[in-house]
Amino acid sequence: MTDWVMKRAGGDGVRIQLAVKQGRGKSVLCVHGLTANCRCWDVVAAGLAPAHSVLAMDLRGRGLSDKPTGGYSLQQHVRDIAFLIDDLGLEKVVLMGHSLGAYISISFAAQHPARVDKVILLDGGGQLEKKQWDKIDLVIQPSLDRLGQIFPSFEAYVEILKQAPVLQPWSQAIEDYFRYESETVEGGVCSRIHPEHISEDIQDVHQTAASEYYPQLKCPVLILRATDGILSPDDQVLPEAAVERMLSEIADARRVDVPGTNHYSILFQPNAQRDEAIRRFLKE
């Protein structure tokens, strides 16, 4: 997907990079996951625009957004979004978040209910116990290991990623996503992301009680859940018990399970059921 219009807007003391597809309906602000960037939304956005305007942001420290030395937390990302929406002149948005972006979306919607029309959560936002976070941390470690490393070429950078079971089947959209996050440096190619910024975000989200926000959510919430674990059945980012708690404590929440998807394929791979569920939810 190459038809994004790239622009910069103001966050909380930083400049935020946005990929924009203008459309006719609601403005959907997409918030990516831990080590992702705006281009992770290429496939999902293709199913929404031009019926809706899609705005995909690079969180601070990711992609082409500014990368301050500190300030990586849910609350800081919430402040960035508040400034961003103001700078863009948007009264209300639909927030769509994947993974860490789901937690950010919940936090923002709870604290700024007047600015949020609806919330869409892709495989994230659950209240997890430490043992579940430990399982998730273990399986995402190979993805974190690429950060801070210099590879001789982009081809070498993605060689290992192309073999990752969770990224199959490999596609042009996935390759474009990783190309966007890479930059040429002395000695080769590396990720634009600094590992210490990610560590700060990980520590913060582990300490956040997401369930405290559930009763504060006043808008409709759609929970899209991947049915498969990342590498095994017990390393789900959104386990069944977590979804049931969300449904019982969020006033207006509904779930759609997306069979045969994992935490990554629910976002990166074409999926008619996912796209139809989002479109139906936006029309309600």
Residue 2 has pLDDT above 80, yes or no: no
Instruction: Kindly state the average pLDDT of the residues 222-228.
Output: 98
Q: What is the average pLDDT value for the chain, to the nearest integer?
A: 96
Helix (H, G, I), strand (E, B) or coil at 189: strand
Ranges 10-14, 117-121, 196-200, 230-234: which has the least confidence = 230-234
Report long-range pairs for 114-119 (Cβ below 8 Å, ≥24 apart): 115/82, 115/85, 115/91, 116/92, 116/219, 117/26, 117/92, 117/93, 117/219, 118/26, 118/94, 118/219, 118/220, 118/221, 118/222, 118/281, 118/282, 119/94, 119/95, 119/217, 119/219, 119/220, 119/221, 119/222
* Domain residue ranges of the chain, discontinuous segments joined by +: 5-283
Nearest CA-CA partner of 11 in 50, 61, 53, 51: 61
Residue 22 has pLDDT above 90, yes or no: yes
Tell me if residue 54 falls in helix, strand or coil.
Answer: strand
Averaged pLDDT for residues 163-182 = 94
For 235, list phi and psi in degrees, rounded to 5.
-115, 40
Looking at this protein, which amino acid is placed at residue 155? E
Give the tokens for residue 251. 């006033």
Cα 219 to the chain's mean position, in Å? 20
How confident is residue 24, by pLDDT bands cut at 50, 70 and 90?
very high
Q: Which residue in 21, 22, 35, 7 sits closest to 267, CA to CA?
A: 35
DSSP 96: E
Please give the average per-residue pLDDT across 69-82, as a whole number: 96
Residue 114's pLDDT is 98
Q: Where are the alpha helices (DSSP H) in the chain?
A: 42-46, 74-88, 100-111, 130-145, 154-159, 172-181, 195-207, 240-249, 265-268, 272-283
In this prediction, residue 141 has a pLDDT band, given cuts at 50, 70 and 90, of confident
CATH architecture of the domain formed by 5-283: 3-Layer(aba) Sandwich (3.40)
Percent of the chain with pLDDT over 70: 99
Q: Give the pLDDT confidence score for residue 210 in this predicted structure.
A: 96
pLDDT at 1 over 70: no
* pLDDT tens-place string over residues 183-204: 999 999 999 999 999 999 999 9
Nearest residue to 104 (alpha-carbon basis) of 29, 174, 38: 29
The whole-angstrom separation of Cα 26 and Cα 13 is 27
Supply the pLDDT for residue 143.
82
Tokens of 8: 């910069």
> pLDDT at position 43, please?
98
- Residue 128 structure tokens: 């997890």
Of the pLDDT bands very low, low, confident and very high (cuts 50, 70, 90), residue 54 is very high
